[in-house]
């Protein structure tokens, strides 16, 4: 290359302060330095202030004895156990009500969303009234309504509502029998797993058969029969290997069996109904986003309305429904922290409430609680993104 060409190339290159790539790197480096400086300053000032006030730092408090009881625990717990144990008790209670809420809100939301588009005037208007009423009332008021105005007005345990001497409903909660496994119950579980595997296999086979021949196979009914009938048959053949523990009224409350506390029931109902009202609108908008020609084509092929909705409309609408549905699941989990208003022992009430007040480890407790909610939200987002990619339109 001649000297004149080198001169031209060097002169065509912009100066560093006019080069967009150089400026982008410099600005991002400055932004990172500012963020790290802010974080380090915040961390250093926090430690300095805590040290000046004589507040100890660290996570050693998790090994100390808690000294307080919790009204509901999914794992063995008593007041002689550690604060670390109270953390897991609160976390499991949060996960329980969140999982129950997600399942119930999804079922109710899809049903109401489809009903909102029903050709039946009464059903469509009832769905509209439900949506507009529930979603425009603050969630905290709904929790109070179900707890104080509904569940707390139920009769006392001595006058509880008795169903077949097995289920007892009172202002202390719903009590019902529990089953304990005896030798031989493993065969029933093996039959259940085999039934589920067979149902999945039949469902896949039925889809391939329908694509190949166009003939429908009642895979849902056959699969349901396998999942229910096969374990039941094995259960009878091995001599019914279950022992039942019945709830009994002793003193002022029931003992034995299992129970659903009013606090859990109120929170679950309020979260489910509130979130379902938003999911219903998401489902309605997703169905309306599907081109009407798809429905007309399915009708022209002779499909029933139920098959058209289940096999043609809903699968295409899911591509629109999944992203906003993920946001509703995240909101439900975060809204479960309102449980502290009715003393349901979730993570916020047990760990960030009682534990923080007793130990004074505010920074550590708040940091752990925030990290837990962040982790749960990221896991839900990750799983929903995987499902979203699975149902997304595959372009070639």
Tokens of 215: 């003939």
Count of all residues that appear for the chain in the document: 396
What are the average pLDDT values for consecutive 10-residue runs of the chain, which has 396 residues? 52 75 90 93 82 76 89 89 93 94 95 91 94 94 94 89 86 87 87 92 88 82 88 88 85 83 93 96 92 84 81 86 93 92 91 88 89 94 89 68
Q: Judging by beta carbons within 10 Å of its beta carbon (0-12, 13-18, 19+), is residue 188 exposed, middle or buried? A: buried
| Contact criterion met (CB below 8 Å) for 309 and 363 | no
Cα separation of 283 and 110, whole Å? 6
Tokens of 339: 């449980």
First-last CA distance in the chain: 45
The pLDDT value given to residue 1: 47
243: left (phi over 0), alpha (psi -120 to 50) or beta: beta
The pLDDT value given to residue 5: 53
The pLDDT value given to residue 395: 62
H-only helix segments in 242-312: 262-289, 292-300, 305-307
């Amino acid at each position: 290359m001649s000297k004149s060409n080198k001169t031209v190339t060097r002169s065509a290159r912009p100066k560093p302060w006019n080069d967009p790539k150089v400026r982008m790197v410099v600005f991002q480096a400055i932004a990172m330095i500012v963020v790290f400086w802010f974080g380090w300053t915040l961390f250093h000032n926090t430690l300095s202030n805590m040290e000046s006030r004589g507040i100890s730092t660290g996570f050693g408090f998790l090994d100390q004895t808690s000294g307080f009881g919790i009204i509901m625990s999914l794992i063995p717990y008593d007041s002689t156990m550690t604060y670390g144990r109270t953390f897991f008790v609160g976390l499991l209670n949060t996960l329980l009500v969140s999982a129950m809420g997600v399942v119930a809100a999804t079922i109710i939301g899809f049903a109401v969303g489809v009903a909102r588009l029903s050709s039946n005037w009464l059903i469509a208007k009832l769905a509209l009234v439900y949506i507009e009423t529930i979603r425009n009332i603050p969630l905290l008021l709904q929790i109070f309504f179900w707890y104080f105005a509904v569940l707390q007005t139920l009769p006392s345990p001595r006058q509880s509502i008795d169903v077949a001497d097995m289920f007892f409903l009172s202002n202390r909660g719903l009590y019902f029998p529990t089953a304990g496994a005896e030798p031989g119950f493993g065969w029933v579980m093996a039959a259940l797993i085999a039934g589920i595997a067979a149902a999945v296999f039949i469902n896949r086979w039925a889809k391939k058969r329908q694509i190949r021949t166009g003939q429908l196979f009642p895979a849902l009914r056959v699969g349901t029969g396998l999942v229910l009938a096969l374990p039941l048959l094995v259960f009878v053949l091995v001599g019914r290997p279950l022992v039942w523990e019945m709830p009994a009224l002793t003193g002022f409350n029931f003992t034995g069996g299992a129970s659903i506390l009013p606090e859990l029931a109120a929170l679950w109902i309020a979260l489910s109904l509130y979130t379902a009202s938003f999911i219903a609108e998401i489902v309605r908008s997703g169905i309306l986003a599907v081109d009407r020609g798809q429905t007309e084509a399915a009708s022209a092929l002779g499909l029933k309305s139920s098959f058209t909705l289940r096999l043609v409309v809903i699968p295409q609408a899911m591509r629109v429904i999944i992203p906003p549905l993920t946001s509703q699941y995240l909101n439900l989990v975060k809204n479960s922290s309102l449980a502290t208003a009715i003393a349901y022992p979730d993570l916020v009430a047990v760990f960030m409430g009682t534990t923080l007040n007793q130990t004074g480890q505010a920074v550590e407790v708040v940091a752990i609680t925030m990290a837990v909610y962040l982790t749960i939200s990221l896991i839900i987002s990750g799983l929903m993104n995987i499902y979203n990619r699975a149902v997304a339109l595959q372009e070639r």
